[in-house]
Structure 1
Amino acid sequence: MANNYRASFSLFFTALFLLPRSCPQSTNESGDEHQILLGLKRYWGSSPVLGRWNPNSSDHCSWGGVTCTNGMVTAIFLPNQTFSKPIPPSLCHLKNLTYLDLSYNNFSTSFPTVVYNCSNLKYLDLSNNAFAGQLTADINSLSAKLEHLNLSANRITGKIPASIGQFPLLKSLRLDTNQFDGSYPAHNISNLASLEVLTLAENPFLPAAVPVEFGKLTRLTYLWVSGMNMTREIPESLSSLTELSLLAMNNNMLQGTIPTWVWQHKKLQYFYMYSNSFTGRFHPVSLP
């Protein structure tokens, strides 16, 4: 399931990397960015992509993993590069950076607060690394323009900070497959009115009822909350999530019966409720 949801951003990624490249707005700025990128190569060392960055080429916009708009770097896409050294502050000297994907590397520090200085980020993917420790209480210091935040498949512990609910433009929040072992701020997450994708699954949270507040997230199309010690019944408030195409609540401690509105849902395509403690008669029907 973790691999399936990554496909949802393929169009976003493709659009970024098909943006037209044009002449730099400023030769000095372009030269600065050229040096910043070369500094990243020296710092992280050779990798499948960085090894092909040619220091003798003045056109860094043609380098693998780099996208420019109007001659300025706007996207860095460097997954699967075996990076282990921490993310350097110089990365955020790329002032027009809006897209950053460093997933599937070997980072093992605490959450890299240096990315707070990437003030124009809209897309941040640090998934499938080994970031550990707790998220800082000021996680909202990330760019206010953020639309996609992916921290899944790391080793993050503790509580999810309440400030996670302070991203007004956030469309996708992926925190699944970590080691969060505290409570989760359901009220704060429910303030993310633009949210379309929410994954909190596979975390050993403290046992708690299914949050009725999630019923406020009426734009959700993907809700993955499996394996997170949820208890009691599925609340009626979730019936307001009429845009859902996937609802996964399996491997919890849910009780009662599966509500009727689930079977009457018009857009639901994938529905996972196994490994719970439901009672009553089960009436499987074909979803619309």
Structure 2
Amino acid sequence: MEISCSSSYSLAFFISLLITTGIAIANSQPVLNSLEQESVYRVLESLNSDIPWRSLFPDDLCSSAPHGVVCGYTTVPTATDDGAVNILELSFGYVSDHNPNPPCNPNSTIHDPFMFSSFPYLRKLFFYNCFTTRPVSLQTFSTLGSSLEELVFIENPSLFGSLTESISNMTSLKRLVITGTNVSGEIPDGFGGLLNLEEATLSRNRFTGIVPENVSNLKNLKILDLSQNGFDGKLPASIGELQNLIKLDLSLNLFSGEFPASMKDLKCLELLDLSYNRFTNSGIPIFLSEMSKLKGLYLSGNELGGVIPDIWENMRGINGIGFSGVGLFGNIPSSIGVFLGNLTYLGLDDNHLSGGVPLELERLAMVNELNLKNNNLSGRLPFSANFVSRVGRKLRVEGNPELCVDVGAIKSFSKVHGSLDELKVCNNRVANSRFTLLHVTSSSISVSRQIPYLVTVFLLVVIM
């Protein structure tokens, strides 16, 4: 079966939003029912009682409402029926001048846990930086119905509680974002029943437990971000069945074991971040070469061991590689410089890499950060003054005692005032003596003496 790696939501979903934007197609638009009108006022007053919402917006809210309160037709008007309008979207918390949602204040709360049950057709509920002081339970929103397609909480540190099995009632949910909150607990089994889910961002919270096996049911999932929580255990092999994934970010958790071999089936993946977990002894996976669409690959902070595999020919689109502190040894493959022309970041620091720095790394014309510090690299640093000036302070090479720099390049290197100042000067006595002897010209030696001089030079070269 062919996999379509599309980063946009489905065309059908986009068309459905257009149909329900609230554009009147009849001569007179029906008014919002009084229950929903009153419920909107109550929510606004709970979030910011300093603003006189009722006097500022005294009329029908489907005709005149604050930004973020969106109505739409839920019954199509006909020649004899004006149809019906209802609240479809509620977005709170000022984001920017382009998204001036009703602002929340430090005392924002939700007084009535059944407040949102008054919106039977609600498709989107969004809170940005609203619940910052007074505790609000996530269970307050458990009464949301099956029509909901987006549930978003961003930067709400006073939001607490946990995901419960009631999440399975939100059968239309396409986007679930809970980030920067105090929500905790495990992911319930009901999460695997959200078959329409396309994004699950649950980052920077206090979640714990394992990734449930039934996550494989989420065939439409494009974004899975569980970063900066307390998840642990092994990754289930079933994660390889999420073949439409574009972003997989599990960084800064407590995951352990080896990477599941099934991950090779994530052919659409563009970002893979498994950094700062407890994955061990698996090395850099060879199957990464089958992820030809990867742009970001971050495995730092896991004790993986092994060498850097020569897999880069099939990964030419990659622009970021983070392999810091993963226990690597052996040489840096020159193929990184040959094939990864889009690379902007390469982190190989705090490993056990040895050998020379490949000259081919200078071919990374777009790199703006190259970190090789704290390894066992040796020999001459091969970079030109232009390369050093371009990368500047983000060229890190300190902590490699056997790495050196040519004396002629010291002035160019010192201009960046970076870690290059810590390198020792290469010992060029032998190389310079050969170079000098072999480049003496006739201007310094008479023609009559050139033949015996050249013989002498030849003998010296042979002896050395």
Which residue of 352, 367, 376 corresponds with 1:253? 352
Could you list the runs of 5+ residues in structure 1 that have no partner in the other structure? 1-10, 28-47
Select the residue among 350, 362, 368 that pairs with 1:263: 362
Alignment of 1:1-288 (within 5 A): 20=17, 22-23=19-20, 54-64=116-126, 68=150, 73-141=173-241, 143-184=242-283, 186-205=285-304, 207-238=305-336, 239-284=338-383, 285-287=385-387
Shift of 1:242: 1.1
Mapped partners of 2:212, 2:341: distance in 1: 36
**TM-score when normalising by structure 2:** 0.49
Normalised TM-score (structure 1)? 0.77
Cα distance, 1:118 vs structure 2? 1.7
* 1: CA distance, partners of 2:123 / 2:367: 42
Alpha-carbon shift at residue 88 of structure 1 (Å): 2.3
CA deviation digits over 1:127-161, x for unaligned, max 9?
A: 111111111233213x2111110111110111111
In the alignment, the residues of structure 2 paired with residue 276 and residue 136 of structure 1 have an alpha-carbon distance, to the nearest angstrom, of 34
Deviation beyond 4 Å, 4+ runs, structure 1: 18-22, 24-27, 48-53, 65-68
CA shift in 2, pair 1:257/1:50, >3 Å: farther
Q: Aligned AA for 1:225?
A: F
Kindly state the Cα deviation for residue 171 of structure 1 after the two structures are TM-superposed. 0.8
Q: Give how far 1:189 is off.
A: 1.4
CA contact 2:340–2:364 (8 Å) conserved in 1: no
1:90 deviation in Å?
3.0
Paired positions, count: 250
Find the aligned partners of 2:18 and 2:268 in 1 and give their Cα distance. 27
Amino acid at match of 2:315: L
2-structure distance, mates of 1:204, 1:195: 22
| Alpha-carbon contact 1:163-1:188 (below 8 Å) kept | no
Q: Give the direction of change, closer, same or farther, for the CA distance of 1:146–1:165 in structure 2 (3 Å limit).
A: same
Percent of aligned pairs with the same amino acid: 25
> 1: CA distance between counterparts of 2:363 and 2:327?
26
Greater Cα shift, 227-236 or 257-266: 257-266
Structure 1 residues 164, 184: CA separation in 2 closer, same or farther (over 3 Å shift)?
farther
Deviation at 1:215, TM superposition (A): 4.0
Structure 1 residue 186: deviation in Å? 2.1
Give the superposition deviation at 1:123: 0.6
For 1:150 and 1:49, locate their aligned partners in 2 and report how far apart those are by CA, in whole Å. Answer: 31
Q: Tell me the alpha carbon deviations over residues 181-211 of structure 1, each in whole angstroms, 9 at most, x when there is no partner.
A: 1214622111111111100111112x21111
* Structure 2: unaligned runs, 5 residues or longer: 1-6, 21-71, 76-107, 128-147, 151-171, 391-464
The question of whether the paired residues in 2 share the 8 Å contact of 1:159 and 1:180 is answered with yes
Are the equivalent residues in 1 in contact too, given 2:277–2:301 (CA < 8 A)?
yes
Amino acid at match of 1:87: I
Asked if the contact 2:215/2:239 (under 8 Å) is kept, the reply is no
CA 1:218 to 1:231, structure 2 compared with 1: closer, same or farther past 3 Å?
same
What is the deviation of 1:97?
1.6
Partner of 1:219, secondary structure, is: coil
- 8 Å Cα contact 2:341-2:363 kept in structure 1: no
SS in 2 for 1:108: strand
Question: How far, CA to CA, are the matches of 1:259 and 1:169 in structure 2?
Answer: 31
TM-superposed CA distance for 1:111, in Å, is 2.2
Give the Cα separation in 2 of the matches to 1:166 and 1:250: 29
Which amino acid letter does the alignment assign opposite residue 281 of structure 2?
G
Higher mean C-alpha displacement, 106-115 vs 161-170: 106-115
**Worse-superposed segment, 226-235 or 104-113:** 104-113
1:163 is displaced (CA, Å) by 1.1
* Shift in Å, 1:120: 0.6
Supply the RMSD in Å over aligned alpha carbons.
3.1
Q: Which has the larger radius of gyration?
A: 2
| Larger RCO, structures 1/2 (Cα 8 Å, 6+ apart) | 1
Q: Per-residue deviation at 1:59?
A: 4.5
